[in-house]
Amino acid sequence: MGAYNSITKALNPLGVYNITPGANIYNELMAYSYALDIYSGHIDSVFADRFITTSSLSNIEKLEKLFGYKRSERTLADRRNMLINRLSITNGDFTKAGLDKFIQSLGIGSYDLSESPSIGYIAVQIYTRFSDTLERWMSNQIKSFLPAGTAVDVFFGGRFWDTIDDYSYDFAYMDSLNITWKQLDELE
């Protein structure tokens, strides 16, 4: 119901005003209602933007920018779910389940986590390929989520050993991880 209808519904029962087209009160009410309808639309959009599930595309893009990367290649529903996951992370989520939630908040669906707690190492194998820029951003996000003392490698696409070969790590780097061949096999 527009502002004009709301105002006339309240004023007509009083019987004091002659609200007919051409009357001064009618013209004033039309002018007021025009401005009130504009403000009402703005207020409705502000209310809708309070929650991610009803938020406008422009507000979703602002929230994505806040977290560092606009995911315009994804559907609006996917983008909303990613933001909901990201905003639901708390101080208690620095666990494997929390890392899973965080990785899903980046829009990554198919991946494996391999842990070697004894040496403080985590390998994240992501089976989907993305653009180089997006892969770098995702990798940095995952590494920054984990405690500073944790060694993390993030691999995109293919099987684990193929991906390690693609990165062309030299022996010195692989040796610096202090991981045995058996431990590397277990990460696969």
Is 66 a domain residue? no
pLDDT digits (tens, 9 = 90+) for 36-58: 889 888 888 887 788 888 888 98
In the predicted model, what is the mean pLDDT of the chain?
Answer: 84
pLDDT digits (tens, 9 = 90+) for 6-35: 888 888 888 888 888 888 888 888 888 898
Is 33 a domain residue? yes
Here the tokens at position 67 are: 């977290």
Residue 140 CB: number of other CB atoms within 10 A? 12
Cα gap 122→114, rounded to integer Å: 6
**What pLDDT was estimated at residue 47?**
78
Instruction: Note the pTM of the prediction, 2 decimals.
Output: 0.61
Same domain, 179 and 112: yes
Using pLDDT thresholds of 50, 70 and 90, give the confidence band for residue 138: very high
Torsion sign (Cα): 66, 69, 75, 78: negative
Is 86 a domain residue? no
> Which of these three, 48, 69, 85, is where a domain ends?
48
Is 83 a domain residue? no
Same domain, 111 and 42: no
Give the mean model confidence (pLDDT) for residues 173-185: 71
Is 176 a domain residue? yes
* Percent of the chain residues topping a pLDDT of 70: 89
For residue 19, what are the contacts with CB-CB under 8 A and spacing of at least 6? 8, 11, 12, 25, 26, 29
> Which of these three, 12, 27, 48, is where a domain ends?
48
Is 59 a domain residue? no
Structural domain including 169 reads 107-187
Here the tokens at position 114 are: 């391999």
Cα gap 48→40, rounded to integer Å: 12
pLDDT digits (tens, 9 = 90+) for 83-137: 998 888 888 888 889 999 999 999 998 899 988 888 889 999 998 888 899 999 9
Backbone angles phi, psi at 61, to 5 degrees: -65, -35
Cα gap 174→121, rounded to integer Å: 12
Is 71 a domain residue? no
**What pLDDT was estimated at residue 186?**
58
Is 123 a domain residue? yes
Nearest Cα neighbor of 163 from 139, 118, 133, 127 is 127
Domains of the chain: total = 2
